Amino acid sequence: NAGVTQTPKFQVLKTGQSMTLQCAQDMNHEYMSWYRQDPGMGLRLIHYSVGAGITDQGEVPNGYNVSRSTTEDFPLRLLSAAPSQTSVYFCASSQNRGGEKLFFGSGTQLSVL
């Protein structure tokens, strides 16, 4: 199994540009989430989804949009990139929220100039 696949692995954007970080899982997991990891701040939850068509905000949602049209995919959209969004982004999934092991993708390193 591929598990959780994130693309791209690296991305450089200019301030104001938009882009979509892709996340796909092949484990038929209902729960998917996006985290950002910053030095000294740890991992912080951006958005999450408990199933197709259902999304909700995490701790740091501003500047990001998500949608969940299928069980497999959970893309993260940066609407107008800012230098403060320079970070490493991780997508994660599990069978359900709160009760199962969380599986992570390998991450996307994003730099906003």
Amino acid at 36: R
CB of 71 vs another protein, minimal distance in Å: 18
Q: Tell me the window of 21-29, 66-74, 79-87, 91-99 that interacts with another protein (CB under 8 A).
A: 91-99
Helix (H/G/I), strand (E/B), else coil: 85: helix
**Looking at the DSSP assignment, which residues form a beta bridge with residue 4?**
25
CA 104 to mean position of chain CA atoms: 10
CB of 70 vs another protein, minimal distance in Å: 21
CA distance 30 to 54: 10
- Smaller CB distance to another protein: residue 18 or 41? 41
Structure tokens at 25: 């899982």
Q: Which of residues 24, 107, 110, 112 is near another protein by CB under 8 A?
A: 107
Question: Which residues are CB-neighbours of 113 under 8 A, at least 6 positions away?
Answer: 12, 13, 14, 15, 83
Q: Is 64 in the site for another protein (CB under 8 A)?
A: no
Total number of residues that touch another protein (CB under 8 A): 25
- Smaller CB distance to another protein: residue 17 or 37? 37
By the criterion CB under 8 A, which residues form the site for another protein? 4, 33, 35, 40-45, 48, 56, 58, 90, 92, 97-107
